[in-house]
């Protein structure tokens, strides 16, 4: 039987990344609690899992590197070393190297630049022996480096171990890698006659004697991932090998003819396995296809309801309404399958803050709230980059140096708070610091120097603060490897907009700043306001809608270099004629009332002129760029209940088109 390993290899890479993330998080915790044995055990298990998986799929470089790391972690567990800040730094660098090695094996990326240096450093530390240990322990006395201990290992795989993905020969090879095998006995007493032999069952077992410098715990850990019915028993032998006879292993496993219920030991194990199988790893592409098909089902159901209503000129029958409710419930449930806690993205920020604060000699407390807030998996994956830039900006530009904070009457230790919460159909992520805040005068001056604004432009506090999101903008005096190139917050804005969200900043000079990111719960469904322009229907994201108003045509004024505007409660709001921007023939005004939808994006408000409001509706987003080029002002499309296609408007794109046209000479725009 030919087994396609590519699918399992891909699963290994996914699991390895999860183990690396776990290791990084727990190593950061180890800095503050260096004596936590549970943390060390968990870190060791994660490294052991990566090592075993990489050896299985032929990633020998990963396996070799992780083996050296695993030895060091084992000695840490045995208290031969102390978890000093320098050693934790080395372990964190090792995690970075393994991450690079995984990308090398998966994507053929170059080997990480620090691979050889970290590998040699791990060997060097491993070879130091007990002189680096503060206090020798009983474990060290029996397992000093260079002193070999003899172990007897009785390995009896369960007959159905293959069902759990276990290869007994890999376990045996793992034992061999720990030292020298002096006895190797294969027991075939469970092997049935040929007619009764099941090729998918394992009938062999092994009795192995091993001489190794590793401790007993390291040997026992080889069998940590076996299923509950398999046996992996490790016994430390006496010093004289001639006193030990190799008995034939007594196999008390149930024979293939017996049921699992007849084995008293199998019952509690079976209960444990139920808990382990409560989660199932599903390929994201399959999940996306499922959600897309359910979205099509929702559209189809709406179309049927519309057809029935048009034919009968009445409300659809109760059975069809019940079907529609079931379909919508199914849609909500399917979308819930992609929801994951944002904790994974938050945990990455801990490492960024640790490394950068050390580099800049700043003391910072990092506090996270709402780690369990759930968000669409695709959004969580894509929000990491914006968060990294936000955290780096807050550390570099926001938090002052300890001496500057003391001079300003503050604690020398700065605070950065990263918070997530759900409100309505949106997720809000706020990054706050108690640093120096934004210097509005300096920001304005820099913007004028770079030609981003004109000296005569009247800007509100909010508009000045939001200048930091403009491409190329930076207030840094010199360019460093941390900041000064003006791309950080620009990346934040672009990435957030790509997620159909928005970002704003508020600040008080001398007291700190808060950057707020607003995101939709999911990218597959959009709450939209349906509007009519002549004979076409368009969708405005409800996330950005503030209000809708009807005004007299006389209320709209013309301003040079700005275009049409309206004064709304003392605020001058630009008016965008959607007909003009989207090249639609505009109907002549029958009455003097004009309908405007007030929207807000990136801290700016503007009014969209429309012909009619059709109501609020959840729509399934369809990406147009798969078949068409990018169209400015259009974010996607959806299919309405009557079968018509409605374009979803990109407010930032429309605003950019309008701004560009407003700055052109009148002869060009006419």
Is residue 593 within 8 A of residue 556, CB to CB? The reply is no
DSSP state of 533: E
Q: At what angle do helices 115-126 and 60-77 cross, to 10 degrees?
A: 40
Rounded Cα–Cα distance for residues 224 and 217 (Å): 10
Name the token pair of 440.
């509005």
Phi, psi angles (nearest 5°) of residue 364:
-140, 130
Strand boundaries in 87-230, DSSP class E = 149-156, 179-187, 205-212
Helix (H) or strand (E) holding 512: strand 512-520
CA 335/CA 131 separation, integer angstroms: 56
- 426/444 Cα distance (integer angstroms): 32
Q: Alpha-carbon distance 211 to 179, whole Å?
A: 6
Cα 507 to the center of its chain, rounded Å: 28
Q: How far apart are CA 66 and CA 99, in angstroms?
A: 11
Q: What are phi and psi of 96, to 5 degrees?
A: -60, -40
Number of other residues whose CB lies within 10 A of the CB of residue 635: 21
Find where tokens 């904070």 sit.
405
- DSSP letter at 622 equals B
d(CA 98, CA 112): 9
Q: How far apart, in whole angstroms, are the C-alpha atoms of residue 493 and residue 501?
A: 9
DSSP symbol at 254: P
Buried b (16+ CB within 10 A) or exposed e, 110-125: eebeebeebbeebeeb
Please, what is the Cα angle at 277 between 271 and 280, to 5 degrees? 170
The answer to whether 75 and 81 have CB atoms below 8 angstroms apart is yes
Is residue 238 within 8 A of residue 245, CB to CB? The reply is no
9 phi-psi bin (left φ>0, alpha ψ -120 to 50, beta other): alpha
Structural contact between residues 241 and 183, judged by C-beta atoms closer than 8 angstroms: no
CB 92 within 8 A of CB 21: no
DSSP string, 91-122: HHHHHHHHHHHHHHHHH-PPPPTTHHHHHHHH
Pairing mode, strands 414-423 and 364-369: parallel
Distance CA 49, CA 19 (A): 8
Q: Please, what sign has the CA dihedral across residues 189, 190, 193, 199?
A: negative
Q: Active-site residue numbers? A: 48, 70, 393
């Amino acid at each position: 039987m030919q087994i396609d390993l590519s699918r399992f290899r891909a699963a290994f890479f996914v699991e390895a990344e999860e183990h690396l993330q776990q290791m990084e998080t727990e190593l950061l915790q180890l800095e503050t609690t260096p004596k936590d044995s549970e943390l060390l055990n968990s870190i060791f298990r994660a490294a052991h899992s990566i090592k075993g998986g990489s050896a299985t799929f032929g990633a020998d470089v990963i396996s070799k590197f992780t083996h050296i790391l695993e030895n060091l972690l084992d000695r840490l567990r045995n208290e031969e070393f102390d978890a000093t800040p320098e050693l934790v730094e080395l372990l964190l660098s090792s995690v970075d190297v393994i991450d690079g090695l995984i990308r090398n094996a998966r994507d053929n990326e170059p080997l990480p630049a620090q691979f050889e240096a970290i590998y040699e450093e791990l060997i060097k530390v491993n070879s130091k022996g007990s002189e680096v240990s503060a206090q020798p322990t009983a474990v060290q006395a029996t397992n000093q480096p260079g002193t070999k201990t003899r172990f007897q290992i009785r390995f009896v795989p369960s007959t159905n171990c293959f069902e759990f993905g276990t290869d007994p020969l890999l376990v045996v090879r793992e034992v061999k890698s720990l030292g020298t095998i002096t006895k190797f006995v294969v027991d075939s007493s469970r092997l049935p006659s040929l007619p009764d032999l099941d090729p998918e069952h394992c009938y062999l077992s092994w009795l192995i004697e091993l001489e190794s410098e590793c401790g007993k715990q390291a040997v026992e850990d080889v069998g940590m991932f076996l299923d509950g019915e398999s046996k992996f028993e490790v016994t430390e032998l006496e010093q004289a090998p001639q006193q030990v006879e190799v008995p034939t292993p007594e196999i008390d496993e149930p024979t293939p003819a017996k049921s699992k219920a007849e084995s008293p030991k199998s019952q509690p194990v079976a209960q444990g396995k139920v808990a382990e199988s409560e989660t199932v790893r599903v390929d994201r592409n399959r999940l996306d296809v499922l959600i897309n098909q359910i979205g099509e089902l929702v559209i189809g159901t709406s179309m049927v309801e519309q057809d029935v209503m048009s034919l009968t000129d009445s409300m659809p029958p109760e059975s069809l309404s019940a079907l529609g409710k079931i379909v919508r419930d199914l849609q909500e449930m399917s979308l819930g399958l992609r929801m994951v806690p944002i904790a994974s993205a938050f945990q990455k920020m801990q490492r960024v803050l640790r490394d950068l604060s050390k580099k800049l000699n700043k003391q910072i407390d990092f506090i996270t709230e709402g780690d369990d807030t759930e968000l669409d998996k695709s959004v969580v994956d894509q929000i990491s980059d914006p968060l990294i830039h936000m955290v780096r900006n807050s550390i570099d530009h926001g938090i002052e140096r300890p001496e500057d904070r003391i001079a300003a009457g503050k604690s020398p230790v700065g605070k950065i708070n990263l918070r997530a919460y759900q409100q309505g159909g949106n997720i809000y992520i706020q990054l706050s610091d108690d640093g120096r805040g934004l210097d509005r005068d300096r920001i304005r001056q820099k913007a004028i120097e770079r030609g981003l604004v004109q000296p005569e432009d009247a800007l509100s506090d909010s508009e000045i603060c939001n200048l930091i999101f403009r491409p190329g903008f930076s207030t840094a005096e010199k360019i460093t490897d941390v900041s000064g190139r003006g791309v950080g917050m620009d990346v934040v804005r672009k990435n957030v907009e790509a997620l159909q969200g928005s970002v704003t900043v508020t600040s008080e000079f001398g007291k700190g700043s808060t950057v707020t990111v607003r995101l939709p719960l999911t990218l597959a469904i959009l709450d939209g306001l349906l509007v009519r322009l002549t004979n076409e229907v368009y969708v405005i994201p409800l996330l950005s809608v503030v209000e809708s108003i009807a005004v007299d045509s006389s209320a709209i004024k013309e301003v040079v270099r700005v275009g049409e505007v309206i004064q709304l409660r003392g605020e001058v709001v630009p008016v965008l004629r959607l007909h003009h921007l989207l090249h639609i023939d505009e109907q002549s005004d029958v009455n003097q009332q004009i309908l405007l939808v007030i929207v807000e994006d990136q801290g700016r408000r503007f009014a969209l002129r429309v012909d009619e409001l059709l109501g609020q509706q959840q729509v399934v987003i369809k990406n147009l760029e798969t078949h068409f080029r990018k169209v400015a002002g259009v974010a996607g499309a959806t299919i309405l209940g009557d079968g018509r296609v409605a374009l979803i408007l990109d407010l930032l794109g429309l605003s950019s088109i309008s701004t560009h046209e407003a700055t052109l000479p009148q002869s060009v725009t006419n």
